[in-house]
Amino acid sequence: MDTLMHAPKTAAKNANAPLLEVSNLSTEFATYAGTLSAVDGVSLSLQPGEVFGIVGESGSGKSVTALSIMGLIKKPGRVTGGTVRFKDEANLLDKTPAEMRKIRGGQISMIFQEPMTSLNPVFRIGWQIAEVLQIHREMTRTEAWERAIHLLDRVGIASPAKRAREFPHQLSGGMRQRVMIAMAMACAPSLLFADEPTTALDVTVQAQILDLMVQLKEEDGAAVMLITHDMGVIAEMAQKVAVMYAGVVMEEATVEELFDSPLHPYTQGLLDSIPRKKSRGQSLKAIPGIVPNLLHLPTGCRFRDRCAAAHSACALADPPLQTMPNSTRKVRCWLHHPEPPK
Amino acid sequence: MRNYLLKRLAQTIPVLFGISILVFSMLHLAPGDPADLLLGPDATPEAVEDLREDMGLNRPLIVQYGAWAGRIVQGDFGRSVVLNRAVLPEVMKRFKNTLILTAGALAFAVVFGIGIGILAAKFHQTVFDSAAMLVALAGISMPTFFTGIAAILIFAMGFQVLPSSGMYPARGGDFFDLMRHLLMPAVTLGAVSAAILARITRSAMLEVIQQDFIRTARAKGVSEDKVVWIHALRNASITIVTVLGMQIGYLLGGSVITEAVFSWPGLGQMMVRAIQARDYPTVQGGVLIIAMSFVFINLAVDLIYAWLDPRIRYS
Amino acid sequence: MTTVSSLDSGAVAPVSARESLFARLKKNRLSLFGGVLVLLAVFMAISAPFLPLQDPDAVDASSRLAPIGAPGHLLGTDELGRDILSRMFWGGRITLLVSIAATLIAMIAGTFLGLVSGYFLGWTDTVISRGIDVLMAFPYFLLALTVIAILGPGLLNGMLAIALVNVPFFARIIRGSTLSLREADYVLAAKGMGAGHSRILFRHILLNSLPTLVVATTINLGFMITAAAALSFLGLGVQPPTSDWGTMLASGRQYLSSAPHTSYLPGLAIFLTVLGFNLLGDGLRDALDPRMRD
């Protein structure tokens, strides 16, 4: 890869400085029935080049977390609190819309779930990729177009010069997602949000897209925040994982820790619901019940209605997310708390 | 695109045929003898008999239609009973004036209607949005003739800034005079279309803004103005153009009323007089010219539509 | 994807389907206002013969073009000294009568054509649809002029002309709803139970298209009033001595500078009535058939 495309590497002041540090992020949506907290005090931190997975059922707030960090929350939603440190920036949440636009698509970019609807149907795909380069790299139209063809080639699209002139409806779902990736990686971002990037695709295509993402991220040194409900994708891709439920992080650990010894009953439930070789022949276990209505959360722990291990303490108070002794992993459950309420 | 063009051209043939049948049958559907109708009340019985022979009124209708269509294709639209002159040149002279009026109205409707619609969508749920939509609803409900009369009352009689009738001053005039005379009639004729376009544009834009690809554009760092004016508008324009085509038909037909209010020397005024005088050749010529031009305008609109929507262009 | 909408859907209390039409309309103050305007126009039309109004055709050469508030003439008089207030009531009666009758004709003819072509499809549909295409190939008002050119000017002919112009409007809407309803489960079930074509068409499909039809008719009434008044304004509709709001406006136009109220009063009446139908139509559409939103 030519170095022109790489963002100038800022000399790290501190080798361990995180790329992204989110603390106490809260996002609310005003509805007719009342205000609901879609994201309720989420804290996360990402190292450069790391793949960080966020997993949870739909409605858990994982996508809203990403959109909040990107500054893409639209009315009736509103980010109500927290800080987002990114590189040397003190707080992305304090930035003006114009300042955020310089960061979005350049240093932070995003891939969405629906490749069928995420591309604009009336513009040529080459144009749509070139547009990012014109915004963030100040390229001329011709330069950007040629660069777009090069990027299409890089994401594995055959005869890219011809494809660049085509419209989204002429491409398959997998190809469209490759175009989305080309667009997201166009300016060599240091952080990429991938929101269910393979969910809408055929199983055979899913693996190809994931491989492509790994390859590009390795080449460009980008960190990835991978949002999915698919534990299999997490196991394959991520180094660290946060499990989200009803707007909060329930457990955070490395992939090995999480899969080997899940601490939270909810994580255990999620893991039990994926098919494995060793459990062949046994029936899959699903977590009973559904994600609670965010307007009417149960008192105490928000998972207790569906939890097999729920006990009296769980109804009394909402457990805090606390770090386990002698470890970096965190869990939000009275079972693992030294002093549960009585 | 070539296939689409050919298909679309082929579709106009039955429509043109249908229009010609309807215009041809006007004479036969109307009460009375076609030859009498064509020559008017002052004609001598000999002349009527000659014409009957000429038109072959005793022959089968299909033969008569063939002969009539043959004459039309050669540009022979018959003679006006009232003016006693060939119809086609008279109709074309008036039609030019109607086109000037219609074009002015269209320009007003497009600029103001679409412009206000976009701004209302951009400032959705603000005072501007509500006020614009209220004005648009009132605009849709204003009958053209009332708008025109109100405009004359205010601008021609009240402030006395604009002329109330005609295309040029009596002594003749230049392009600037024409524009001065055109302003009120064009705005009057275009008001309803502008209101309809504003409503359609707003709702099309609001729908497009909800789409995933708009979020993609924002995620790319595209400025809010470009999101609205390029990414969203280009998609909404597909809906807008469809409605625009219908509005051109409304303007062409509705110009009759505006012409009457402002004494605009257009084809519409000529046709109203011809209908009252039962001058059938003139009516037939006028209907045929307007309907046929509308067919070709619709064809052009559909081609623009296909050009705007690659899903049609490349299928 | 957890989008805003998926979050909302779980949280917003669903609007009760059983909430009455009136209750839903009542929430929309604008359409309620529209309803009041419509009722007012209808009241004027119905009550004209029963109110102590002056003879609308009584000519009084001594008080021509009297202004608003003139003694004995609340809204003044026209160029022949006829009482404008009385003429507004009687003229409104004609305008509404012609428009409502034309709408009914267009609705019945259009609905029938739409039902038949959408249900039977095949050559029936081809013939009807091509016919509708030809009608729609004419610019809106030109078709009405053509019909009048054939039949001659007059109240009845004008009514038939504007009715014909609006047949495609109904035919297209009903054809569309028939196309989607003919595949509906209950229609298939009725067919399976041996129901005949006419029973399916009128009992099942028409009944279920009724909300769409009500909305379309209300919106169409606004067009019709404008079109009827426009024909009269051009002298091609209602002929003297009968007069409606359109002819009143046309004759008042000669006296714009000396007595503007002779034209703006009937103009205002047309505007407010059309506005009423449009507001009511918008409200009904939102309440009954949100899919029809433009």
Q: Do C12 and A36 touch (CB under 8 A)?
A: no
A67 shares its domain with A198: yes
B122 plus B207 within the same structural domain: yes
Q: Is residue C58 part of a domain?
A: no
Assess whether B66 and B105 both reside in one domain.
no
Number of domains in chain C: 1
Rounded Cα distance between A64 and A247, Å, is 9
In this structure, of B51-60, B75-84, C119-128, the range with the lowest mean pLDDT score is B51-60
B57 and B181 both lie in a single domain: no
Is residue B253 assigned to a domain?
yes
pLDDT, residue B298, reads 87
Burial readout A216-255 (b: 16 or more C-beta within 10 A, e: otherwise): bbeebebbbbbbbbbbebbbbbbbbbbbbbbbbbbbbbeb
Structural domain includes residue C17: no
A41 falls within a domain: yes
- Which among A32, A63, A112 has the least Cβ separation from residue C2? A63
- The subunits that touch chain C, with at least 3 C-beta pairs less than 8 Å apart, are A, B
Domain holding A69: CATH number? 3.40.50.300
Q: Residue A174: pLDDT above 80?
A: yes
User: What value does the CA radius of gyration of chain C take, rounded to a whole number of Å?
Assistant: 23
> Are residue A94 and residue A131 in the same domain, yes or no?
no
Average pLDDT over residues B139-152: 90
Compare A220 and A16 and report the one with higher pLDDT: A220
**Confidence band (pLDDT; 50, 70, 90) for C14?**
very low
More confident residue, A59 or B72: B72
* Pair of tokens at residue A3: 């170095």
Of B73, B102, B129, the last residue of a domain is B73
Q: Are B144 and B188 in contact (CB under 8 A)?
A: yes
- Domains identified in chain B, total number: 2
Same domain, B107 and B69: no
- Looking at chain C from residue 13 to 72, which residues have their Cβ under 8 Å from any Cβ of chain A? 13
Query: A154 and A264 share a domain?
Result: no
The pairing of beta strand A108-111 with beta strand A223-228: unpaired
Please report all neighbours of B, defined by 3+ CB atom pairs within 8 A. Answer: A, C
Q: What is the mean pLDDT of residues C7-23?
A: 45
Q: Is residue B263 part of a domain?
A: yes
- Same-domain pairing of A102 and A198: yes
**Phi then psi for B284, rounded to 5 degrees?**
-60, -45
Indicate if A100 and A194 belong to the same structural domain: yes
What are C38's two structure tokens?
């419509």
B238–chain A Cβ distance below 8 A for any pair:
yes
Residue B310 inside a domain? The answer is no
pLDDT at B37 over 50: yes
CB contact under 8 A, A196 and C7: no
Name, in order, each residue with C-beta under 8 angstroms of A114's C-beta and a sequence gap of 6 or more: A200, B212, C1
Residue with tokens 């505006």: B258
pLDDT value for C166: 92
pLDDT at site A39: 92
- A167/B219 Cβ within 8 A: no
pLDDT at A34: 83
Same domain as B99, residue B58: no
Question: Does position C141 have pLDDT exceeding 80, yes or no?
Answer: yes
Enter the pTM of the model: 0.84
- List the domain range (segments joined by +) for residue C107: 101-294
Residues B164 and B210 in one domain: yes
In order of A99, A261, B89, C97, C121, the CA distances from A301 in angstroms are 39, 21, 87, 68, 60
A281 pLDDT tier (thresholds 50, 70, 90) = low
Contacts of B22 in chain C (CB under 8 A): 134, 146
Chosen domain end from A140, A162, A186: A186
Q: Identify whether residues B173 and B241 lie together within a single domain.
A: yes
ipTM: 0.85
Please indicate if any CB of chain B lies within 8 Å of the CB of A114.
Answer: yes
Q: What is the pLDDT of residue A146?
A: 94
Cβ–Cβ contact B220 with A under 8 A = yes
Q: What is the pLDDT of residues C246-258, one digit of tens each?
A: 888 888 888 877 8
**Domain, as residue range, for A81:** 16-107+190-291
Domain CATH number, residue C177: 1.10.3720.10
In a domain, A169, yes or no: yes
Nearest beta carbon to residue A118 from set B212, B234, B309: B212
Check pLDDT > 70 for residue C244.
yes
Domain presence at residue B284: no
Lookup result for tokens 């459950």: A333
Q: Does some domain include residue B255? A: yes
Show Cβ contacts of residue A339 under 8 Å, excluding neighbours closer than 6 positions. none
Nearest by CB to B291, from C137, C150, C235: name it. C137
- Distance separating the N- and C-terminal Cα atoms of chain C: 29
Sequence-separated (6 or more) residues with CB below 8 Å from residue C122: none
Q: What does pLDDT average to over chain B?
A: 88
Quick check: C152 and B31 CB within 8 A? yes
Q: Structure tokens of B140? A: 């849709």
CB contact under 8 A, A114 and C7: no
> Is B291 within a domain?
no
**What's the sign of the alpha-carbon dihedral A291, A294, A296, A299?**
positive
In this model, does residue C275 exceed pLDDT 60?
yes
Binning pLDDT at 50, 70 and 90, where does residue C292 land? low
Whether residue B119 is predicted with pLDDT greater than 90 in this model: the reply is yes
Shared domain for B135 and B38, answered yes or no, is no
- A8 at the B interface (CB within 8 A)? no
pLDDT tens for residues B193-251?
999 999 999 999 999 998 999 999 999 999 999 999 999 999 999 899 988 988 998 89
Compare all CA atoms of chain B with the CA of C5 and give the residue at the minimum distance: B210
Q: Is residue B281 part of a domain?
A: no
Q: Do A182 and A197 sit in the same domain of this protein?
A: no
Tens of pLDDT, residue by residue over B252-301, are 988 999 999 999 999 999 999 888 888 888 899 999 999 989 988 888 88
In a domain, C26, yes or no: no
SS3 per-residue string spanning chain C: CCCHHHHHHHHCCCCCCCCCHHHHHHHCHHHHHHHHHHHHHHHHHHHHHHCCCCCCCCCCHHHCCCCCCECCECCCECCCCCEHHHHHHHHHHHHHHHHHHHHHHHHHHHHHHHHHHHHHCHHHHHHHHHHHHHHHHCCHHHHHHHHHHHHCCCHHHHHHHHHHHHHHHHHHHHHHHHHHHCCCHHHHHHHHCCCCHHHHHHHHHHHHHHHHHHHHHHHHHHHHHHHHHHHHHCCCCCCCCCCCHHHHHHHHHHHCCCCCHHHHHHHHHHHHHHHHHHHHHHHHHHHHCHHHCC
- Domain span at residue B144 reads 92-276
What percentage of chain C has pLDDT greater than the value 90?
Answer: 23
Considering the domain architecture, whether residues A102 and A194 belong to the same structural domain is answered as yes
Inter-chain touch A105–B211, beta carbons under 8 Å: no
Q: What chain B residue is nearest to C252 in terms of C-alpha separation?
A: B149
Contact across the interface for B220 and A132, Cβ inside 8 Å: yes
- C3 and chain A in contact, CB less than 8 A: yes
Q: Which residues pair with A267 in a beta bridge?
A: none
Residues C53-101 pLDDT 10s? 777 777 777 777 777 777 777 777 777 778 888 888 888 898 999 999 9
Tokens for C172, please give them.
């297209």
- How far from B198 is each of B211, C94, C272, CA to CA, in Å? 21, 33, 21
Of A171, A186, A201, which closes a domain?
A: A186
For chain A, how many structural domains are there in total?
2
CB A300 within 8 A of CB A306: no
**Secondary structure of chain A in the HEC alphabet?**
CCHHHCCCCCCCCCCCCCCEEEEEEEEEEEECCEEEEEEEEEEEEECCCCEEEEECCCCCCHHHHHHHHHCCCCCCEEEEEEEEEECCECCHHHCCHHHHHHHECCCEEEECCCHHHHCCCCCCHHHHHHHHHHHHCCCCHHHHHHHHHHHHHHCCCCCHHHHCCCCHHHCCHHHHHHHHHHHHHCCCCCEEEEECCCCCCCHHHHHHHHHHHHHHHHHHCCEEEEEECCHHHHHHHCCEEEEEECCEEEEEEEHHHHHHCCCCHHHHHHHHCCCCCCCCCCCCCCCCCCCCCCCCCCCCCCCHHHCCCCCHHHHHCCCCCEECCCCCCEECCHHHCCCCCC
Q: Do A54 and A146 sit in the same domain of this protein?
A: no
Query: Which chains form contacts with chain A, at 3 or more CB pairs under 8 Å?
Result: B, C
Q: Specify whether B63 is located in the same domain as B175.
A: no
Stretch A98-125: mean pLDDT: 91
Please tell me whether residues B66 and B154 are part of one structural domain: no
Q: Are residues B188 and B62 in the same domain?
A: no
Task: Answer whether residue A297 is part of any domain.
Answer: no
**pLDDT band of B64, cuts 50, 70, 90:** confident
**A285 falls within a domain:** yes
Shared-domain flag, residues A103 and A196: yes
> Chain B closest CA to A41's CA: distance in Å?
24
Give C191-231 pLDDT, tens digit per residue: 788 778 888 888 788 888 888 888 889 989 998 999 999 99
Residue B133 inside a domain? The answer is yes
